[in-house]
Amino acid sequence: ISDIDEIALPAVCLVDLLRNSSGLQALKLDSIRISGDRDAFDDLAAALICHPSLQEIYFSGCVPSEESMATLEPIASAIAKIQTLDQE
């Protein structure tokens, strides 16, 4: 395992991205470790649901970081509730 494999993206960074990128239409997260506590994952879920223009999400192979006490369940549930996603 290289050092890069141990780096995790903080959920709060994704929340900031979503809140400050109202024109974002696509989000691709592939094999990313996401760090943060349960509140941070809940905030990420809320930011996904509330995003005004997100039409496409690719979310594959992502996992909570080892030190995170959260699960991806709130994020998965949020993706199902996003009104702006293309329904193909």
3-state secondary structure at position 25 = coil
Instruction: Return left, alpha or beta for 3; rule: phi > 0 is left, psi -120 to 50 is alpha, else beta.
Output: alpha
Is 27 a residue whose pLDDT tops 60? yes
Stated pTM of the model? 0.88
pLDDT (mean) for 54-81: 93
The pLDDT of residue 1 is: 44
At residue 86 the predicted structure's pLDDT band, cuts being 50, 70 and 90, is confident
The pLDDT of residue 87 is: 65
